[in-house]
Amino acid sequence: MSMLDKFKSYFKNDRFAAHNGIELVDCRPGFAKVQVLIRPHHLNAAHVVHGGMIFTLADFACGAAANAHGLVTLSISSAISNLAKGTIGKLTAEAIEISRSNKLCTYDVNVYDDFETLIANFKGTCYITKAEIDFDSPVKEKSFQPTSAEITQERD
């Protein structure tokens, strides 16, 4: 299995991205390319792609590029500038690492439409944990239903 296939398998567990139809197209440490085919449920009341969809696409690209280094890496700060509207076709986000230390990494993500119009620019900073990602082992499904013990702990 290629590394790209391993990354795709791992990132399928991002249920929110999967629910929104986001596909990982390319990925390697410090870089990711993701796409989404715009569907009617991605549009807002003005019939353009909802800003939350564009943000989710860019955030997923950032996360894939950062986590591809093999350590669990979590977003701590992000900002997006919407530059043009998206309406039909595919949107593509490309994340490029612009800095990395032992604890923080920063990414620049551009979102384009099918006509290569720059739709949005996203800046993301992530915290690099010490938890290693094993891309060779399948991720186990976690239940969405808390146990009674977990509910009791939350109340205390």
> Strand, coil or helix: what is 52?
helix
d(CA 26, CA 22): 12
pLDDT of residue 137: 81
pTM for this predicted structure: 0.88
pLDDT of residue 139: 62
What's 66's DSSP letter?
H
Quick one: pLDDT band at residue 153, thresholds 50, 70, 90?
low
* Residue 96 and residue 50 in contact, taking contact as beta carbons nearer than 8 Å: no
Classify residue 71 as exposed, middle or buried by CB count within 10 Å of its CB (0-12, 13-18, 19+): middle
Amino acid at 119: I
Phi, psi dihedrals of residue 18, rounded to the nearest 5°: -60, -45
Of residues 39 and 156, more confidence is placed in: 39
Mean pLDDT computed over every residue of the chain: 92
pLDDT of residue 68: 98
Per-residue pLDDT reduced to its tens digit, 49-102? 999 999 999 999 999 999 999 999 999 999 999 999 999 999 999 999 999 999
High-pLDDT (> 90) share of the chain, %: 85
Note the Cα 143 to chain centre separation in Å.
22
Largest Cα separation within the chain, whole Å, is 54
Per-residue pLDDT reduced to its tens digit, 96-117? 999 999 999 999 999 999 999 9
